[in-house]
Amino acid sequence: MQSNDGVFAANQIRPSYAWFVVFILFLLAVFSYTDRWVLTLLIDPIKQSLGINDVQISMLLGLAFALIYGVFGVFMGYVADRSVRRTLIFYGIIIWSLATIGCGLARDFQELFLARILVGVGEAVLTPAAVSLISDYFGPERRGSAVGAYLTGIPLGGGIAVMLGGLVLGSVEHGLLRPVVEWAGQPWRAVLLILGVPGLAIAPIVFLIKEPKRTDDATASHNPLPPAIPLRASVAILLRAAPIFLGVAGIALAEAAVVSWSPTILIREFNLPPDRVGLWIGLSFAIGGTAGVLMGGFLGDWAKHRGGKSARLYICLLGAALTLPCAAYGVTASIALALIGVGFYRFFSDWTTSCGIAAVLDQVPNRLRGLATSVTFFLNVSLGVGLGPTLVALVSERHPAGIRTIGASIVIVALPVLTAVIALFAMTAIVRRGGSIKSAVAAEKT
């Protein structure tokens, strides 16, 4: 049943349809992150073609994307709280797909940098609008699992990007896709062109999503476009969640360092062909990351049911602590250990991210969820994607004679960051737990 304004109330939508919406958004996340991370397998061909160094490559992987994604994403979170979210997503898909094609046509570093910025513009729309939609389709008791299911598109997209990139490069080596390569000029360009086109074809799928009315957990009230929360009150609410924002951003920084450079470790330091690396690393990313996101959502919901909102933070703390030893995968001399290590790294770090985002949503009212999500991803991208790949490149360039410099650089970058994240989640969980106990005691006395 539909209201006169074309907006659906959550209680009018079947649970099966709500999960169908999650599936659509999940598919879009896969496409989004495939376009974002495919460059990680193309690092050396792009370097040779454009005559650039590792620091410039790291800027393409991180800074170019993070510059606009973070800032524009916050604005899009604000817009998502006040407009039709599926329409925003449609235009975002068109922009990032055209920009990915533009990456394949770029003639120099400057043009490629600009195209990567435009990829960030398009992709900045998706997650704030998607998480806001999911929040209205699911109540707080199932929201963590639903958000986790959507977020599985992130590691799957990264894994698929590397696998497809390797598959295309391998096909080129065997003489397949020759017309595309001849037109594009170089294999790495053909990869980007081939991956950019499908997004244009799937963009209309977003209109299968019904726009739900917005609901608040506390009141269960329905309002399609609720009045805005005053700016000062919004800032105060978000500041209370600042430690969780920073903890998730720290995990993102360490993970971006790993995701960006893992294919290069196997190609440079184990002398493996890109097509084989694409398959192996892609499977590690996809399996480890997907399982981690789902586990984080499930454990977070379980903990919240048993211990309240602050209990999710203990799940985040556990995930961050288990991520720490996996960072050593970069300095192992075994290909098998490196692949297992990076798979478990993705598992535990994505577990922490998934649970952390749900913990943020617990702290804010409905009318701030789009903005809160965009702030989370702003910090993840600006601190994580923006700094992680470049810090690894800078550390590596300062030790050019070392053995496995990229792998050692990942360890040098990741360990202190993860240690700080563990301390941050631990202190926040203790403080929130103490506050909950005091509130319960005060309520009992009254």
Which whole number is the average pLDDT over 141-147?
Answer: 76
% of the chain with per-residue pLDDT over 70 = 88
In this prediction, residue 12 carries a pLDDT of: 56
Which whole number is the average pLDDT over 106-129?
Answer: 90
CA of residue 205 relative to chain centroid, distance:
21
Q: What angle do CA 146, 431, 379 make, to 5 degrees?
A: 50
| CB 283, CB 46: distance < 8 Å | no
**pTM (2 d.p.):** 0.72
Q: What angle do CA 425, 352, 429 make, to 5 degrees?
A: 25
Distances (CA, A) of 232 to 46, 73, 236, 259, 366: 46, 20, 6, 37, 17
Res 10 pLDDT > 90: no
The reply to whether 214 falls in a domain is: no
Res 167 pLDDT > 60: yes
CATH of the domain at 346: 1.20.1250.20
The reply to whether 223 falls in a domain is: no
Res 112 pLDDT > 90: yes
Which of 79-93, 167-181, 383-397 is predicted least confidently? Answer: 167-181
The Cα–Cα gap between 441 and 215 comes to 30
Which whole number is the average pLDDT over 155-172?
Answer: 79
CA of residue 158 relative to chain centroid, distance:
9
The reply to whether 211 falls in a domain is: no
The reply to whether 2 falls in a domain is: no
The reply to whether 225 falls in a domain is: no
More confident residue, 104 or 177: 104
Q: Is 308 left (phi over 0), alpha (psi -120 to 50) or beta?
A: left
- When divided into structural domains, the chain yields a total of 1
The Cα–Cα gap between 87 and 204 comes to 10
Instruction: Residue 346: give the domain boundaries.
Output: 10-206+230-445
The reply to whether 222 falls in a domain is: no
Res 221 pLDDT > 50: no
More confident residue, 366 or 122: 122
The reply to whether 171 falls in a domain is: yes
Number of other CB atoms surrounding residue 225 within 10 Å: 14
Res 3 pLDDT > 60: no
Distances (CA, A) of 234 to 61, 143, 174, 218, 371: 32, 22, 57, 17, 9
pLDDT digit string (tens) for 237-266? 888 888 899 999 999 999 988 888 888 888
* pLDDT band of 89, cuts 50, 70, 90: very high
Which whole number is the average pLDDT over 311-328?
Answer: 92
The reply to whether 220 falls in a domain is: no
Q: φ, ψ for residue 81 (rounded to 5)?
A: -75, -10
Res 157 pLDDT > 50: yes
- SS3 of 8, please? strand
Which whole number is the average pLDDT over 119-144?
Answer: 83
